[in-house]
Amino acid sequence: MTALAFEVLDIQPEPYAAAPQLTAKLRVTESTGAAVHAIALRCQVRILPQRRGYTPEEEAGLLDLFGERSRWPTTLKSFLWQQCSTMVQGFTGETEVGLPLPCTFDFEVSAAKYLQSLRDGLVPLELLFSGTVFTKGQTGFGVEQVPWDLEASYRLPVDAWHRLMDQYFPNTGWLRLDRDVLAALSHYKAARGLTSWDATVESLLANAAAVSPALSGDPVP
């Protein structure tokens, strides 16, 4: 039987991915000297929000997720960020491998809303590993399962998340709408010859402000 251990060395934005992605650099160690032909590695990445502090500004962004600060002793619990996987090439002793962590900027997703609410500091992560190990057997390949108790921890710099989002969505954000609302908004845009969604929303806000100054983004005298 193999004896595996995992360590997270670093997590950084992937500069050349087609979609937003962080890459976790893992060190995989096998301590019995057995030759590992490959590992079909799976990983569950969890965020542990209860293991860091929050500023009043961050608290406001976390209201939808955890409620008022007075409720945090019961609501601030670890939650799943993502499930991911990779193939580890053959090695003896130890090796390093990149684990892709695909990311989204959709604020309807709890992890994206949480990460975007943070200003600085570190995000405590817990990585739980599973998968299949292929080794040399007596009559060919041997197959083992990665033990379920193998895990690693890492404190992700908040700056890494913001740099990733700025790389793919500079100075922009996402707003998910009902399909009927989106169709009506598209018709409004086309009927007025507006050239962008920004211009469409700005036109609606300007019309609303003309009807009621209280709906304007400017302070009401």
Q: Which CATH number fits domain 4-168: 3.40.50, 3.30.460, 1.10.10, 2.60.40?
A: 2.60.40
Is the model's pLDDT at 219 over the cut of 50?
Answer: no
Domain extents in the chain: 4-168, 179-213
Q: Given this model, what pLDDT does residue 213 score?
A: 62
Q: Given this model, what pLDDT does residue 220 score?
A: 40
Q: Given this model, what pLDDT does residue 144 score?
A: 93
Calculate mean pLDDT across residues 158-169. 93
Q: In this predicted model, which residue has the larger pLDDT, 118 or 109?
A: 118
CA–CA gap between residue 216 and residue 25 (Å, rounded): 47
Closest CA to 36 of 85, 88, 97, 98: 88
Percent of the chain whose pLDDT exceeds 70: 95
For 1-47, the pLDDT digits (tens) are 889 999 999 999 999 889 999 999 999 999 999 999 999 999 999 99
Terminal alpha carbon distance of the chain: 75
In the structure encoding, which two tokens stand for residue 106, read together?
């959709």
**Mean pLDDT taken over the chain:** 91
